[in-house]
Chain A
Amino acid sequence: MNALEIEGISKSFGDFYAVKKLSFEIPAGTIYGLLGPNGAGKTTTIRMVMNIIIPDEGSIKVLNQRMDEEMKERVGYLPEDRGLYPKMKVGELLLFLAEIKGLKGSEARKEIDFWLERFDLSDWKSKKVEELSRGMQQKLQFIVTVIHQPELIILDEPFSGLDPVNTKLLKDVMLEMKEKGRTIVFSTHRMEQVEMICDNICLINKAERVLEGNLSQIKKQYGKNTVILDYDGEANFIKNFPEIEKIDDYGKFMEIKLKEKSSPQDLLPKLVGKISINKYEVKEPTLNAIFIEKVGGKEVKDEEDIISH
């Protein structure tokens, strides 16, 4: 069963295509990464899933149904722009947001206490939201997303702006949810997070799908012709070797992509003696390398998306 099925959706704003004929499916009980550079159309896609923006064409099925008001109660959503009512007390805020998710008062109160305890915010229950620190507000925002035990959780750039402690907390909650059989979709442009927790990915660039599927299969397709080199010394000369297709040099660390017919075994002897080698590892390309290749060599900036569609 699929938790989410998107088929041929498009959305344009005037002459600008935000999303173009996009399709993908998310199997239930998995974690799915929606990747793409800034402005690729990730947020627009998510907003269409949430029925906040209506697609020009195509269809979206959430948990095998059309998205409607009742379905919204089975979905948890963390928008890219975080926000809470600053003047409300924490407990009241959670109660209100749980109520509009369809929870009854008594049930909601139980969940509120559980989650506040879990995130170590119990003492703040009767404080106003604006009195909380940024980190605490982020935790509160997760609680809002999951308080109604949603079957499908949609997170738009969940890790942006989080400190390491909250990053870990969020990751733990995500894995915990997966164990309980929930499905999680999240968008990001931070590849290392995706590699760590995603089962499947979809890479979008300029409103269109570039790559989709199971993460380990995708990596296999790219074959084992990538070398990770950890070194000391002057390694510029490597660039001139004919078997090299592409190099990402970080100064002490290098990701080398070899041409199709070349073998990593032939490259190693050419390096011995010229530089000091700490590690020479043959592996699949990192997702980051695939991303950069697919998106067209553009730098992936670690910034918030600025689009506002």
Chain B
Amino acid sequence: MRKILSVIKREYIQIVRTKGFIIGTVLGPVFMLALIVVPIIVSSASVEKKETIGVVDLTNEIFMELDKKLDHKDYRLKDGFRRYVLEKYEPSPGVEEVRNELRESVLKKEISAYIYIPEDVLEGGARESAVKDAVPEEAKAEYVSEHTTDFEELRALNRALNNVVIEKRLKKEGLDPQKVAQYIKRVELQPIKITKKGEEKDTAGTFMISYFLALILYMAILIYGQVIMRGVIEEKSSRVVEVVLSSLKPFQLMMGKILGIGAVGLTQFSIWTLFGIGASVYSTSFIPAGADFAMPSIPAHVFIYFVVFFILGYFLFGTLYAAIGSMVNSEKEAQQLVMPVTMFLIVPIMLMIFIIRAPDSPLAVFLSMIPFFTPILMFLRITVLLPPFAQIGASIVILTLTILLMVWLVAKIYRVGILMYGKRPKFVEVVRWIRYK
């Protein structure tokens, strides 16, 4: 046991001290945070400036209303000045002439765009079509500019124009736009999650958090499993393994390595957790007021299961990666063997959406009991809809038994493999290794 501790200590210190670990630990959360925060900052800091827009209004009824609408504070710049300044152009001597003139102005940058409103917009474009039952063509106004991808601006102008046009159409029919707006107000279907403890309003948060945590679990098992594999290959290719084996058993070396690297993983999570707690406290001041975004909280039991399933999943896959490392001579050679193991991790990721949608369907229950899928799928089920404890317990027991079986099997492969150089062994040979005394 003392010797295993020495190996654990060595693995731990050697990895924790590397630049890769420090960078990964620091940049990991910075990167994740950046993914959330940067778009918010960038979009709120987008450059808005005063724009002069020409309007050719063939209905002769819309310009005034539209101008009034755009004077509203919703459409103004942050400093209170008008953002969209409209200039009316009469369609004389002819529509085409005016449009040509305006096109020139846009190109000369005298105005930033012009809007063309055809005559038929107020009729809803619903003129009788020649073809029977054809869908009536939509009324189309035009926004002509050199730059047509500022969808923020397009949406604003579109909304203003639509409001004006729809109000006009309703008034023509003798309806009160205010009342109609009230009648057609949408009803929201709000999901409320009930648990034994009570009700809670559920937002997209649960879904996101489940997905996110399961992905982290997947990444962590994959990355740390491969660290084990690389470590074994390094010991093999540097030929140090035989020196070490003159002091301890292959099993001690293997277990020490798996435990030491696992401890590195837990250290990294601890750092991230502290970082996360700090960030969520701080972020309340970070997120712009009124943004439709609340920092979702992770319930304690989810957090505990995350650690439990990381440890179990890491052990299961870690032993497999150790076996692969012992069988090959180089990382390149390892890549082919890694594929089937990695598939066991990728399949549950592909099943995630299905599990999130139907977490307690018989198929989901069955899949989450398959030990190679359990770490990710059972954890996912726990985050979405806490399954009966009997199921969680059963999956953990099956998983643990599988781990014990794998450790026993892999120890036999590892013992022979780490001293074997040259051609990569065939499957039959590996089976023979297992049978060796």
Contacts and interface: CB of A to CB of B under 8 A. Distances in A.
Interface stretch (B44-52, B68-76, B136-144, B236-244): B236-244
A76 B247 CA distance: 9
B239 A79 contact: yes
B119 to A, nearest CB: 79
A308 interface: yes
B14 interface: yes
Given A73-B247, A77-B246, A97-B247, A84 B240 contact: yes
Interface residues of A, number: 30
A97 B14 contact: no
Given A96-B6, A100-B3, A308-B422, A52 B240 contact: no
A60 interface: no
A223 interface: no
Given A100-B3, A100-B7, A83 B14 contact: no
Given A79-B239, A87-B14, A308 B421 contact: yes
Interface string B308-321: 00000000000000
A4 interface: no
A72 B248 contact: yes
24 contacts: A52-B242, A52-B419, A53-B419, A54-B437, A69-B3, A69-B248, A69-B249, A76-B246, A77-B242, A79-B242, A81-B239, A82-B243, A83-B238, A84-B240, A85-B14, A85-B235, A85-B240, A92-B13, A96-B9, A99-B6, A100-B3, A100-B6, A144-B243, A308-B421
A190 to B, nearest CB: 21
A88 interface: yes
Interface residues of B, number: 27
Contacts of A58: none
A72 B247 contact: yes
A86 interface: yes
B91 to A, nearest CB: 79
A273 B3 CA distance: 72
Contacts, number: 70
Nearest to B18: A87
B420 interface: yes
B245 interface: yes
B14 A88 contact: yes
Contacts of A97: 243-244, 247
A84 B238 contact: yes
A101 B9 CA distance: 15
B241 A83 contact: yes
Interface string B12-51: 0110000000000000000000000000000000000000
Interface in A30-52: 47, 50, 52
Contacts of B247: 72-73, 97, 100-101
Given A79-B243, A84-B240, 5 more contacts: A79-B246, A83-B242, A100-B6, A100-B247, A100-B248
Nearest to A101: B247
Given A308-B420, A308-B421, A86 B245 contact: no
Interface of A: 47, 50, 52-54, 56, 69, 72-73, 75-77, 79, 81-88, 92, 96-97, 99-101, 141, 144, 308
Contacts of A99: 3, 6
B127 interface: no
CB-CB nearest 5 A-B residue pairs: A83-B239, A77-B246, A83-B240, A79-B242, A81-B239
A82 B419 CA distance: 13
Nearest to A144: B243
Contacts of A50: 245-246
Contacts of B240: 83-85
Given A82-B239, A83-B241, A100-B6, A72 B246 contact: yes
B242 A81 contact: yes
A161 to B, nearest CB: 13
Nearest to A87: B14
A11 to B, nearest CB: 11
B10 interface: yes
Contacts of B419: 47, 52-53
Contacts of A84: 238, 240, 243
A101 B238 CA distance: 20
A83 B241 CA distance: 7
Contacts of B239: 79, 81-83
A143 to B, nearest CB: 12
A58 to B, nearest CB: 13
B27 to A, nearest CB: 22
A79 B243 CA distance: 7
Contacts of B244: 97, 100
Contacts of A47: 419
A150 to B, nearest CB: 10
B238 A96 contact: no
Nearest to B3: A100
Contacts of A82: 239, 243
Contacts of B3: 69, 99-100
A99 B247 CA distance: 9
Contacts of A77: 242-243, 246
Contacts of B246: 50, 52, 72, 75-77, 79
Contacts of B13: 92
For A85, A88, A144, the residue with the greatest tally of chain B CB atoms inside 10 Å of its CB is A85
A5 B332 CA distance: 43
Contacts of B241: 83
Contacts of A144: 243
A86 B239 CA distance: 10
Contacts of B238: 83-86
Interface string B403-433: 0000000000000000111100000000000
Contacts of B243: 77, 79, 82-84, 97, 141, 144
A235 B234 CA distance: 56
